[in-house]
Structure 1
Amino acid sequence: MAIGELVKRHLIDIRPLGVPTYRRLWSGQAIANIGIGVTVVAVSKQVWDLTQSSFWVGLLGLANLIPLLVFGLWGGAFADAVDRRRLLITSSLISWGATLFILAQALLGLGNVYLLLLASAVSATGFAMTSPARGAIIPRILPAELVPAANALNSLVFGFGAIVGPMIAGVLLAWQGYPLAYAVDAVLFTASLYAAIRLPELLPMGEIQRPGWRSVIDGLRYIATGPVLLMSFVVDIIAMVFALPRALIPQAVAERFDGSPIALGWLSAGMAIGAVLGALGSGWLGRVRRQGVALTVTIALWGLSVAAAGLAQQLWLMVVLMAVGGVADMVSSVWRQSILQLHAPDEMRGRMQGAFMVVVAGGPRLGDLRAGLTAVWFGMTWAWVGGGLACAIAVLVVGLSVPSFRNYRAG
C-alpha cells in the first residue's frame, strides 16, 4: 500500500474543517478548552491546599453532578424546541460568569472552599446546557458522512486543551498563583463565545415538543427501548465511576512527588496526551463494524491501564500509562457519540445529547466522589488501583452478557 494511501486511511480526517461554520465552532472550542483545563487543575489544587483532603476534592465532583443531571436533561429538551444558536450563547454566558466569579474570589483572597464548590456548580449548569446544544448542532451543519470525523476532531481539541491547560496551570501556579490561572481561563473562553455568536440561526426541525419533564421522559424512553444505546451508556458509566482517578491526583503528587506543581500538570494531562495521539490516528475508527465488542474491550483496556498507573512510582511511567488509557477513552467516545447522533432523528437529537452529556460529564463526577471516599477508607494507592481493576472486570461481565450489544455491528 502506498504511503499516501496509508496516511489517508489512518490519520485524522480533517474534511469537516472545510465547512466554515464548523471550523469556527471547532477553533473557538479549541482555544476555550485550554482555559478550562487550567481552571480544572487550579480549582482542584486550591481545594486540596485549603483542606488537605481528597474527600473534599472529590466533593467538587458532587457539586458538578447535581446541575449536570438536572440541567443536562433539561438542556437537551430545550435544544429540541428552541433556536440552538441562542441556547448555546445563553449557556456559554452562564459558564463564563462562573469563571469570573472564581477569578474574583482568588483576587480577593477569600480562600473559601464552599465558594469554590458553589462556583463549580454554576459552571456545571452552563456546561450542562451548552453540551446538548453543541452536540445537536453538528449534524445540522455537516453532512452525515462527516459526523464521525467531526467527533474525532472534537476529541482532539478536548484532549489538546486537557494537555496544554494543565501544563500551563502548573507553570502559572508555581509562578503567580491562582488569580492569573483563572484570568487566563476568563480571557480564552471568549473565543468559544464568539464562535457561538457567529453561528447561523438553528431553529428546530420536525415535530416540536414543549420542553419539560414529559419531553425529557420521552427522550429517556427512546434510549431505554434500544438495548444497544442503553448499553453504550452503561459501559461508559462503569468506566468513569469505577476507574477515573482524577480526584486522587493532588494526593498522589503530594505523596510521591513532593507536591510539585509541574508534576501535577503532567499527571493531570496524561489521559489527554493519549486522547490527542489517538485522535491524530483515528482514520480507522469508522471502519470498525463490531462496535459492541470493540467498546467493551476498549473500556477494559482503559481500566487496566489506570490500575497499572496507580502502581507506578515514576512520574514518566504514570503519565505513559494514563496516556494509554486516554487513547482507549477517546476511541470509545467517538464510537458512542457517532452512534447517538446518527441513530436519532433531528427532533430527538438534543435530548439524546443531553442524556449523553449527563453520562459523559456526570459519570466522572461520581468517579471523583468514589475515588475520594475510597482514598479515605483504603488509602490513595488502593483507591486508584482497585478502581481500575473493578472497571475491567465489570465491563467485561456486563458488556459481553447482552447479546444485542455483543453482536452489534455499525451500519
Structure 2
Amino acid sequence: MTESRVEPAGDPAPAAEGAGTAAPDAAAAPDAAAAPEAAGQGGPAGKPAYRDGNVLRWLGAYAASLVGDSIYFLALGWAAAQAGGPAEVGMIMATGAIPRAVLMLGGGVIADRLGPRKVVIGSDAVRCVVILGIAAVLMISGPAVWLLVVVALVFGAVDAMFLPAVGALPPRITGPDQLVRVQGMKALSNRFGGIVGAPVAGLAMGLGGPAAAFAVAGGLFAVSLVLLVALRVAPLPEEEPAPEGSGLSEPEKKRNVWDDLTAGFGYLRRHKLVGPLVASNILFELGGIPVINVGMVLLCSYRGWGAPGIAWIVGAFSVGAACSALILTVAKRIARAGTVRLTTITGASVLVAVLGSVPSLPWAVAVAAPMGLLVGTSGGLMAGLVQTNTAPAYLGRVTSVMSLISLGVAPLMYPLAGAAVGVWSVPTVFFGCAVLCGMAAVAGVCTREVRGAELPR
C-alpha cells in the first residue's frame, strides 16, 4: 500500500485521489479554515503523517475505538456466561456477526452517499449510547439473554456502517503520498489494541463486573467520537458518475441504493488496477486468514507443542507484523510498490507451506516472524494502492467489499480448515492454503497494471 498512483487506461472513473476535494467539509472542526492545505490534499508541505495533527486525531480515534471494541467483546462474553450456559454464550457471541456480514456492502453505499465523516461519527455515537446504556442497565439489574442479543445485533449493524466509513477516511485527511504511512500507523494501532484491550477488560470486570467493562468501552467510544468530530475532512464529489450502459440519470441513480451497490461492483470490474488488486487480495486472505487464526492452533496441537507453542508462534508473527507496520510508517516512499507487494505475497506463501512442515518449535518461531513481516507489508501496500487509485466517490463501497471478505467470508474457512485437517493432515492443509495465497501472486503477475503500480511521490 505504498502510494504511487497509476491511471488505469480507459477506466470510466479515473482514480484521482482527492479530486474535487479542495474545500474543507462544511461540518469540519472550527480550525479547518486555518489549515495550511485542504484536508485530503495533504498537510503542510513535507510534513509526514506521524507529525500531522489531523492524522493523529484520526489515529487516536481509531485506537480508542479498537480498544473499546476489544473490551466490549470480552464484556459481552462474560455477561453472556452469567446470563446463560455455554450454548447461550456461543449464540450471543455469534449474533453480532450476522448483521455485520449482511449489511456491510450497504454500509459502503451509505458511506459514499453521505460522506464517510458523517457516517463514522453517527455510527460511533450510536455505539457509545448503546454500550453506556447496557452498562447502566447492568448496574441496576443482572444480564438477560434477550438484552445481550439485542445489544449484539445493534452493535453488529452499526459496525457494518462504521467499518467501510472509517476505511474510506484516510484519503480525505491527508495527501496521497502519506497513505502508506497511515496504513503503517493503523497497523501499529491494531497491535496496540490487541495488547491493551484484554488486560483493561479484565481489570474492569474484576473491579465491577461486565457493567464496569461496558462503561469503560463506552467511555473509549466517547473519546473516539470527540476526536472524529475534530477531524478536517474533504467532502465527496458532488456527483458520482452513473455506470456506463445503465440507462440511469444521476437523480434516478442517487435515489436507488441497489443501483449504487451494483455501480460499485461495476467499478471494480472495469477498473484495470483496483479490480485486480481487490481480486488478488481476496485470494490471499482466503488462504492466509485461516492459517493465522486457526492453523497455528491446529499446528501446535498436531506437533504436541501445546499452549506455549501457540504463544511463541503467534507472538513471533505479531512481532514481524509490527516491524512491517513500523517500516511502512517511517519509510518516505516504497518504489515499485506493485512489484514489492507481489514479492512479499510470494514469500509469505512459501513460508506458509514451510511453517506447516517444520519439525520443531524453534524452527516454527523462526518462520513465523518473517511471515508476519511479509504479510504485514503486503497488506499495507495493498491498502495504500487501493486508496490512492480509487475514485473518492467509490471508496466506501470498495472498502466494504474488502471488509466483508476479511471479516465475513474468510472466517467461514475456519471450519473447512478444521475438517480438512481431519481428512488429511496439518502440513497438507498448510500447503493448500499456501497454494491459494500463491494464486494471489499469480493473479497479480498476470496483470500489467498491478505489476507496474506505483505510489505517489
**TM-score w.r.t. structure 1 length?**
0.73
Please give the secondary structure, in 1, of the residue aligned with 2:169. Answer: helix
**Equivalent position to 1:135, from 153, 159, 167:** 167
| Residues 1:250 and 1:79: Cα distance change in structure 2 (over 3 Å) | same
Q: 1: CA distance between counterparts of 2:412 and 2:217? A: 25
Choose 142-151 or 121-130, whichever is displaced more: 121-130
Can you give the 5+ residue segments of structure 1 that lack an aligned partner in the other structure?
A: 1-12
Taking the TM superposition and a 5 Å limit, the aligned residue runs for 1:48-197 are: 51=86, 63-64=96-97, 66-96=98-128, 99-100=131-132, 110=143, 112=145, 119-166=151-198, 168=200, 180-197=212-229
Can you give the 5+ residue segments of structure 2 that lack an aligned partner in the other structure?
A: 1-45, 241-249
Are 1:23 and 2:56 counterparts?
yes
Q: Give 1:239's aligned residue.
A: 284
Q: 2: CA distance between counterparts of 1:386 and 1:115? A: 44
Larger radius of gyration: 2
Q: 1: CA distance between counterparts of 2:149 and 2:195? A: 24
**Cα shift at 1:126:** 1.9
Taking the TM superposition and a 5 Å limit, the aligned residue runs for 1:232-381 are: 232-244=277-289, 245-246=292-293, 272-282=318-328, 283-284=330-331, 286-289=333-336, 291=338, 293-302=339-348, 324-362=370-408, 366-375=409-418, 378=421
| Residues 1:68 and 1:344: Cα distance change in structure 2 (over 3 Å) | same
Q: Give 1:391's aligned residue.
A: 433
**Cα shift at 1:294:** 3.6
% identical aligned pairs: 20
Please give the secondary structure, in 1, of the residue aligned with 2:333. Answer: helix
Deviations 1:227-265 (A, max 9, x none): 5323322333233333324367889999979889xx998
Q: 2: CA distance between counterparts of 1:138 and 1:232? A: 18
Q: 2: CA distance between counterparts of 1:185 and 1:127? A: 15
**Equivalent position to 1:224, from 255, 263, 269:** 269
**Equivalent position to 2:447, from 362, 386, 404:** 404
One-letter amino acid of the structure 1 residue matched with residue 392 of structure 2:
D
| Residues 1:300 and 1:121: Cα distance change in structure 2 (over 3 Å) | farther
Q: 2: CA distance between counterparts of 1:400 and 1:197? A: 43
Q: 1: CA distance between counterparts of 2:80 and 2:423? A: 17
One-letter amino acid of the structure 1 residue matched with residue 441 of structure 2:
G
Taking the TM superposition and a 5 Å limit, the aligned residue runs for 1:34-53 are: 34-40=67-73, 51=86
Q: What is the aligned residue count?
A: 388
| Residues 1:140 and 1:369: Cα distance change in structure 2 (over 3 Å) | closer
| Residues 1:40 and 1:19: Cα distance change in structure 2 (over 3 Å) | same
Please give the secondary structure, in 1, of the residue aligned with 2:113. Answer: coil
Q: 1: CA distance between counterparts of 2:207 and 2:358? A: 28
**Cα shift at 1:316:** 8.9
| Residues 1:404 and 1:371: Cα distance change in structure 2 (over 3 Å) | same
